[in-house]
Amino acid sequence: MSSVTPSESAAGQLGAAALPIGVFHSGVGGLTVLRALREALPGESFVYLGDTARLPYGTKSPGTITRYALGAAGALVERGIKLLVVACNTVSAVAIDELQAALPGLPVVGVVEPGAQAAVLASGSGRIAVIGTESTIRGGAYTRAITALRPDAVVSGRACPLFVALAEEGWIEGPIPEAVAREYLTSLVADVDTLVLGCTHFPLLVGAIRRIVGPELAIVDSAATTAAAVASLLHLHGMLGPSAPPRCIMLATDGRERFARVGSGFLGLPLSAEAIEIVDL
The catalytic residue positions are: 88, 199
User: Nearest Cα to 262, choosing from 248, 249, 276?
Assistant: 276
> Nearest-CA neighbor of 219 among 201, 196, 242, 198?
196
**Is-contact 45 242, C-beta < 8 A?**
no
Please name the helix (run of DSSP H) or strand (run of DSSP E) that holds residue 194, with its range, or none: strand 194-198
Cα–Cα distance, 136 to 92 (Å, whole number):
8
Enclosing H/E stretch for 233 = helix 222-236
The CA distance from 90 to 202, in Å, is 13
What is the number of other CB atoms lying within 10 angstroms of the CB of residue 268? 13
Whether 122 contacts 115, CB under 8 Å: no
